[in-house]
Amino acid sequence: MIATTTSPSANPSLFSRLQNVSTPVRWMFMAAGGMFALTFVSHFGKGDPGLLTSSSASGAMIRWAAPILLAGLGGLFAERAGVVNIGLEGMMILGTWGSAWGAINYGPWWGLVFGAGFGALGGLLHAIATVSFGVDHIISGVAINILAPGAARYMSDQIFNDYAGGSVSQSPNSGNFGKFNVPFISGGDAFFGWDAPDTLGWLDKKDWFFISDVSAIIRGMFVQISVFTVIVYLLVPISGFILWRTRFGLRVRICGERPSAGESLGVNIYLHKYLAVVISGAFAGLAGAFIVLELTGFYREGQTTSRGFIGLAALIFGNWRPRGVLLGALVFGYPFGLALRDLEGDATHNLLLVIAIALGVVVVWAVRRQNRTDALLASGLGGAAVIWYILSTTAPNWLPNTMPYVMVLMTLIFLSQNLRMPAADGLIYRKGET
């Protein structure tokens, strides 16, 4: 009898199987794993951490993630064309002012248009500086971030000062879009005033482990949402389709990879860089408009609170892909929304345990890849998170604000080999170069 040996690939492990499945299925497994971690901590954590898997927490995540997502998509268009857009924060500020002025004078839909338009003007300025004049991308972006607050303050002094309830640093109430519940998922009016069943709410009230928690999380994403919110999240597949399924998108991406090769094929590199950066500014302006029209209801000086930079962090976290930017925005938006509702600090404090669980998964992943350094580092960080969790009772106020940057650093440390920015991103290009 001839002895046979089984190759390693004959009995693939769970990790190997997950790597071979399609991306949507892999995302479903990742989402389920994240929800299970939140459910576990919600039931067994310190204090009263039940807010972690509540409808209010996931609903807040959807709203607070939206401006980060729009800023990240704006950065995606610019960087896919080879232009680093550090000026997203300044363009968001222009969008906040423009949307407030448009909404006050013409209504919320025009506020949305003017917000995108003012942001696009910031993008146009950045394109003129970087594409036409060859200014360093970082210097141009920083200049826009410095210029935009001053311009907004000057316009407020000239215009909002004359409005009832306005001042040099604030606009009157600009209104907002109406809210609705999605029928059959979270209740709401279905047809002719008939109250549709709240299916996920019914499951949430059953208090079944994991099933009720997942139902509450999903339900919160469809409660009291607006048309503007729906538009924001539809822009993710639309952006992916434009960049990867259209001729325009192909030309934009070649600007960020091999502009000289694109020029040799007749692509107008300057034109497509301009268009991409202007679109980037428009997305950032929409992010500012969302803050005004959905989160606050008026323009106020300093209300962007560095979300443009967090959008860039989501772009890096998402590996310069629309779906990755969406994931980063949701992960970064969750602690912000949670902190606003966690008056006792229990749920935010229990995020430390969630972080420790995530680092434990990284340890297993690193061990399987025989990466001893990453395994030791993740073990140390996870252990520190557990010790911090055990020795404290509440989380500091600065924790939600620092989590996006810490997570980007962890991504760069543990997943740097999987990250790939456009090859010509940030490089000055001149026509005729080879």
Does the CA dihedral 386-392-393-394 come out positive or negative? negative
CA dist 432 and 263 (Å) reads: 8
CA dist 334 and 69 (Å) reads: 12
pLDDT in tens, 115-160: 999 999 999 999 999 999 999 999 999 999 999 999 999 999 999 9
pLDDT in tens, 345-396: 788 888 889 989 989 988 998 898 888 888 999 999 999 999 999 988 887 8
Q: Are 102 and 111 in contact (CB under 8 A)?
A: yes
Q: Which of 22, 31, 94, 6 is nearest to 331 (CA)?
A: 31
Instruction: Say what the pTM is.
Output: 0.91
| Residues 227, 232, 234: CA angle, nearest 5 degrees | 95
* pLDDT for 305 beyond 80: yes
CA dist 41 and 401 (Å) reads: 21
Query: What is the model's pLDDT at position 394?
Result: 81
Which stretches within 21-136 are classed as H helix? 23-44, 55-80, 88-106, 108-127
pLDDT in tens, 203-255: 888 888 889 999 999 999 999 899 999 999 999 999 999 999 999 999 999 99
CA dist 281 and 287 (Å) reads: 10
Query: What is the model's pLDDT at position 193?
Result: 64
**Token pair of 332 as six digits:** 């970064």
Residue 374 CA neighbour count, 13 Å, CB half: 21
Tell me which DSSP letter residue 130 carries: I
Query: What is the model's pLDDT at position 228?
Result: 95
**Token pair of 196 as six digits:** 């549709």
Query: What is the model's pLDDT at position 4?
Result: 46
CA dist 65 and 56 (Å) reads: 14
